[in-house]
Chains A and B, each alone.
Chain A
Amino acid sequence: MSLVELIGRDPDAATLKLWLEKIPYAVYLGMEAELRDTNILFRLPPDDKLIGNASLPAIHGGVVGAFMELAGAIHLVAHMEKPVLPKVINFSLDYLRASRLQDTWARCEVIRQGRQIANVTVTAWQENPKNPNATARAHFLIAEPEIAKENSHVPLET
């Protein structure tokens, strides 16, 4: 089955695992996901191939960003009424501290989900969620533009 056929609202732990296995890049990164109450907690286990600064050593900043972007998209899909594969429009990352070669965690929040656009924030940390390593905001496209009918009111709302 393809990922599109597998996605759905409120996945259980086994389903989340299956989603990740269908995304080659998530497999390459070694990304995992688990359920904590109603929230999804994402984990990026340490791996030498993810090092971006060998002298610290620290995980590549781009990898931390990619992990957070994947987390944001999966979190969004799991919370959509009618899940579709979201397309990232833009992604804005704030780096707060270097990510050491240890477990990196991420959790996400859908700030707003309109008909066409979703706004999702992601926080990543290592030892203490109160001391994040990075925060991010992503906009995802979740539907193609609708066709405005003649004389119809075109809503500005997304």
Chain B
Amino acid sequence: MNSLTFEEKLRLIKQMGAFIPHSSGLGVELHSIEGSELTLRLPYQQQLVGDAETGVLHSGALTVLLDQTLGLSAVCSNDIAPSVTPTLDLRIDHFGIAPPGADIFATGKVLRATRKILFVDGYAWCDSPDKPIARATGTWVRVMDIDLEWIKSIGRNSA
């Protein structure tokens, strides 16, 4: 299997951050990688607020975070070689709202990978992953594999 090691995943995600100015600008960072689960963190910020009266973040900010988390989970899947995987579709169910002032975490996991399609699940949470505020499910398409040697070489010199 051509899956990446933990260290290689870390370097790849760090490297990819440079290609995603939107999330880098918002301070989206890797929180953890545990087995096949990947978690990102979005720091609370005023500019993402949907309701100025309450300070609650707009649900669209969750869409951004979940799209990115599930997409990166697809790239870092243990089941298939790392691939370029555009999003085919994404559905988000909002169980509640994020408390004002709280950072948001999103966890993603590839549920099933076929030769061409990755089925990915995830959820967003604040206080505890056991209390999700939103659930996401989506599919990503493998359009081409990423050169494994390139991934293994990135960040080696600086690491």
Which listed segment binds A: B20-28, B111-119, B125-133? B20-28
From residue 62 to 90 of chain A, which have CB atoms closer than 8 A to chain B? 62-63, 65-67, 69-70, 85, 87-90
Q: Are B58 and A25 in contact (CB under 8 A)?
A: yes
Q: A52-B22, A54-B18 are in contact. Are A95 and B88 (CB under 8 A)?
A: yes
Q: Are A65 and B60 in contact (CB under 8 A)?
A: yes
**Which residues of the partner chain B approach A59 to less than 8 Å between Cβ atoms?**
22
Q: A25-B49, A52-B22, A66-B58 are in contact. Are A92 and B64 (CB under 8 A)?
A: no
**B83: Cβ under 8 A from any A Cβ:** no
- Report how many A-B pairs have Cβ atoms within 8 Å: 121
Q: Are A52 and B23 in contact (CB under 8 A)?
A: yes
* Chain A: CB-nearest residue to B69: A62
**Which residues of the partner chain A approach B88 to less than 8 Å between Cβ atoms?**
94-95
Q: Are A28 and B47 in contact (CB under 8 A)?
A: yes
Of B19, B58, B86, the residue contacting A55 (CB under 8 A) is B19
The tally of residues in A whose CB lies under 8 Å from a CB in B reads 39
The tally of residues in B whose CB lies under 8 Å from a CB in A reads 36
**Which residues of the partner chain B approach A61 to less than 8 Å between Cβ atoms?**
67, 71, 86-87, 90
Of B18, B23, B68, B91, the residue contacting A91 (CB under 8 A) is B91
**A149: Cβ under 8 A from any B Cβ:** no
| A67 and B67 alpha carbons, distance in the complex (Å) | 14
A57 to chain B, nearest CB (A): 9
**B59: Cβ under 8 A from any A Cβ:** yes
**B151: Cβ under 8 A from any A Cβ:** no
B121 to chain A, nearest CB (A): 15
Q: B48-87 toward A: CB 8 Å interface, digit per residue (1/0)?
A: 1111110001111101111110010000000000000011
**A49: Cβ under 8 A from any B Cβ:** yes
Interface centre among B20, B51, B57 (most CB of A within 10 A): B51
B42 to chain A, nearest CB (A): 11
Q: B123-145 toward A: CB 8 Å interface, digit per residue (1/0)?
A: 00000000000000000000000
**A143: Cβ under 8 A from any B Cβ:** no
Q: Are B50 and A23 in contact (CB under 8 A)?
A: yes
Q: Are A25 and B60 in contact (CB under 8 A)?
A: yes
Of B25, B47, B51, B63, the residue contacting A66 (CB under 8 A) is B63
**A48: Cβ under 8 A from any B Cβ:** yes
| A28 and B147 alpha carbons, distance in the complex (Å) | 36
From residue 84 to 124 of chain A, which have CB atoms closer than 8 A to chain B? 85, 87-95, 98
Interface centre among B59, B86, B89 (most CB of A within 10 A): B59
Interchain residue pairs with CB less than 8 A apart (14):
A23-B52, A24-B48, A24-B52, A25-B60, A28-B47, A54-B19, A54-B20, A62-B22, A65-B60, A66-B59, A91-B63, A92-B89, A95-B88, A95-B89
Q: Which B residues lie at the A interface, using CB under 8 A?
A: 18-23, 25, 46-53, 57-61, 63-68, 71, 86-94
Q: Which A residues lie at the B interface, using CB under 8 A?
A: 2-4, 22-25, 27-29, 48-55, 59-63, 65-67, 69-70, 85, 87-95, 98
